[in-house]
Structure 1
Amino acid sequence: MEPESVLQTHDLYKYILDTTVYPSEPEPLKELRVVSATHPNSFMGTGPDAGRMIQMLLKIANAKKTIEVGVFTGYSLLLTALTIPDDGKIVAIDMDRKAYEIGLPVIQKAGVEHKIDFIESKALSALDKMLDNPDNEGSFDFAFVDANKDGYLSYHERIVKLLKVNGIVAYDNTLCRGSVAQPESCIFDFFNLAREDTATINFFKATRAGIVEFNKSLAADPRIEMCMLPLSDGLTICRRLY
């Protein structure tokens, strides 16, 4: 749950967390962060510094109705639930309910489970089902996406339709450990890959390629304005223009 930023040394990243994040981190978030750190895939969690930015965006947007694509153990989900009003709602989509249930007791103890509509599903089918209801189009204030990176472009097409004009969507891991700025051959160094592990190599190639394509597409999308921030593994923020 505490990935080192791709553009920062470990000491500098720790300084940022210790001075600007942890001192005011709500106790339920701290508890969930500690619980999630024991998961073998803890690196999949949202970085606390990125979480702080998401919290600020939710408050600035006065968000009440949100979408989360990719939940894992629920750090960003709990953060959102703690931030939006008591009658706010989060549509949370993930294929892995087991990971979600790791954080669920903390969410329940925090008294915010009633704000969450968890959908165990592939993201595309869930988003398409939401769009089948015309009342959902243009009705969401905020979305956060932290799922399979080769699917980001497809998710973006659906989420833009679901967001209100001036609604905000944030995408995590858009720097892909810095590999987006280097040739594909450099993935061995960025991801510490064994050259004989073909399956893992192919996975990270697809991940990097998906993010590279996605970043280019966002930059050319006239429906949004965007900003890419070097928080954790890269956080891209988009506002729907029309």
Structure 2
Amino acid sequence: MSTRTIGLSDDLAAYVAKVGVREHPAQAALREETDRLEHGGMRTSPEAAALIGFLIETIGAKRVLEVGCFTGHGTLAMALAMPEDGQVVTLDVNRQWQELGRRHWDAAGVGGKIEFREGPALTSLDALLEDGEAERFDLALIDADKKSYPDYLDRCCRLVRRGGLIVLDNTLWDGRVADPSDNSRQARTLRCLNALLHADERFAAVLLPVGDGLTLLRRR
């Protein structure tokens, strides 16, 4: 063990990607295509995607909710980790990006597990609640507009079953949450949310320095 998390140099990050992550060929192809986009930096890191897939297998998740699809790199990792009768419901306002991802989902043989819902995430989340989906999901991943994280979390707390998991991405926000001089709305929102979750006894919680920060919550 160690007293603190090790920093990752470029060489060490490449080593982790090489021997620490098992990447399906379709994942590699989608990652490479995403990285060529103007907004490719929004992609989930391979190690974060692998960790979420590991959690899905660990708890035997069959229904997963994703708030923020982008090109579906993380979506693909989750679908690959699920059993044949599993389902990922993924939400995004941009259909064009997920159409790029769907080619790779289908190439991996998991396209049938993934249901894409287009539109504002809060609207889609409220529709799921209205449709009687409360406590019907085993895991939710929140990785969309950071300013709306508190609202997304509120809905996901109702949609995920007791004992299920909620994962929030980007909760370190490139280190800016630890910079009190950064008063951007995203940094302030995440800083406040992190503090609230630290004290929220509804969850078992841990914030991990994986990717841009992953907060893992288990709903008690």
**Same fold judged by TM-score > 0.5?**
yes
| Aligned with 1:175 (options 154, 160, 172) | 172
Query: Counterpart of 2:14?
Result: 14
TM-score, structure 2 normalization: 0.93
Displacement of 1:7 after TM fit? 4.5
- Helix, strand or coil: the match of 1:39? coil
Q: Note if 1:214 corresponds to 2:211.
A: no
Q: Encode CA deviations 1:159-200: one digit per residue, 9 max, x unaligned.
A: 011111110011110000011111234x8xxxxxxxxxxxxx
Query: Counterpart of 1:166?
Result: 163
Displacement of 1:234 after TM fit? 0.4
Query: Do the aligned residues in 2 keep the contact of 1:90 with 1:117 (CA within 8 Å)?
Result: yes
| Aligned with 1:82 (options 80, 83, 93) | 80
Query: Do the aligned residues in 1 keep the contact of 2:54 with 2:81 (CA within 8 Å)?
Result: no
- Percent identical residues: 35
Query: Counterpart of 1:194?
Result: none
Displacement of 1:30 after TM fit? 0.9
Aligned length: 215
Query: Do the aligned residues in 2 keep the contact of 1:225 with 1:239 (CA within 8 Å)?
Result: yes
| Aligned with 1:103 (options 76, 92, 101) | 101
Gaps of 5+ in 2: 1-5
Structure (1/2) with the larger helix percentage: 1
CA distance in 2, matches of 1:236, 1:155: 14
TM-score, structure 1 normalization: 0.85
Letter in 2 for 1:157: D
Letter in 1 for 2:11: D
CA distance in 1, matches of 2:177, 2:99: 33
Greater CA drift, 54-63 or 97-106: 97-106
Q: Encode CA deviations 1:84-103: one digit per residue, 9 max, x unaligned.
A: 11111111100011111111
Give the root-mean-square deviation of aligned CA atoms: 1.5
Bigger RCO of structures 1 and 2 (CA < 8 A, at least 6 apart) = 1
CA distance in 1, matches of 2:149, 2:187: 12
CA distance in 1, matches of 2:123, 2:144: 14
